[in-house]
Amino acid sequence: MVINERGLALIKEFEGYRSTPYRDPAGIWTIGYGSTYDKEGRRLTGEHSPVSRDEATVLLKIGVGSAERSVSRLITAPLNENQFSALVSFTYNVGGGSLQRSTMRMLLNRLEYDNAADEFSKWRKVGGRVLPGLVRRRAAEQAFFLSRPEDKNATDDPHERRRADGHVSYVLRILRALMGRGAAR
């Protein structure tokens, strides 16, 4: 399986584009759409040359390929395309090693999808600090994970559709509440 277009758009939205190297909140050299390696697989440094949007997209696809392989290797539970794509976005951001050690992976592999989805929100800190951007990203990944794929292969089971739609509505209500509280502070 490969990431779908909505998943790729989610990564691009939250990573943003930067043509020159910068240190992310964890202090890791990054460029383009959150890439930490160059085309040859070497770790980025501050001396890396600027990249165009097209070059950044190539680097993104290399990194996404690595995240796809990690998700495919580590998750044995059946996944729909939105679940897979949400997990690829998550793994692109935190790394395959973090997915491997996560409670989320263990719950998924025990087919505890709802409990696994609840784990997204726990991955919101860098260096012990909660980052608002990660809170928003994890809420978006969780809602995407719980959403029903819109392709012809999607299930027509009304119970499953109602459950997923209910989760998405619940997550969006929480996100709106958090955003409202954050704006008041």
pLDDT in tens, 41-89: 999 999 999 999 999 999 999 999 999 999 999 999 999 999 999 999 9
Average pLDDT over residues 126-150: 95
Indicate the pLDDT class of residue 95, thresholds 50, 70 and 90: very high
Indicate the pLDDT class of residue 169, thresholds 50, 70 and 90: low
Q: How much is the pLDDT for 147?
A: 95
pLDDT at 167 over 70: no
CA proximity to 6, closest of 71, 106, 72, 81: 81
Q: How much is the pLDDT for 171?
A: 60
Q: How much is the pLDDT for 166?
A: 52
Measured between alpha carbons, how far is 38 from 19 in angstroms, rounded to an integer? Answer: 13
Helix spans in 25-52 (H): none
Instruction: Decide which of 22 and 156 is more confident.
Output: 22
The count of domains in the chain is 1
Burial per residue of 46-73, b for 16 or more beta-carbon CB atoms within 10 angstroms, e otherwise? eebeebeeebbbebbeebbebbbebbee
What is the H or E stretch that residue 21 is in? strand 18-23
69 contacts: CB under 8 Å, gap ≥ 6: 96
Q: How much is the pLDDT for 84?
A: 98
Q: From the candidates 5, 13, 15, 81, which is the catalytic residue?
A: 15
Task: Write out the residue range of the structural domain in which residue 163 sits.
Answer: 5-184
Q: How much is the pLDDT for 150?
A: 78
CATH of the domain at 142: 1.10.530.40
| Amino acid sitting at position 173 | R
pLDDT at 152 over 50: no
Hey, what are 98's tokens? 């973090």
Q: How much is the pLDDT for 111?
A: 97
Degrees to nearest 5, angle at CA 130 with 15 and 180: 85
pTM equals 0.80
Instruction: Decide which of 128 and 181 is more confident.
Output: 128
Measured between alpha carbons, how far is 44 from 62 in angstroms, rounded to an integer? Answer: 14
Per the annotation, the verdict on 15 as an active-site residue is: yes
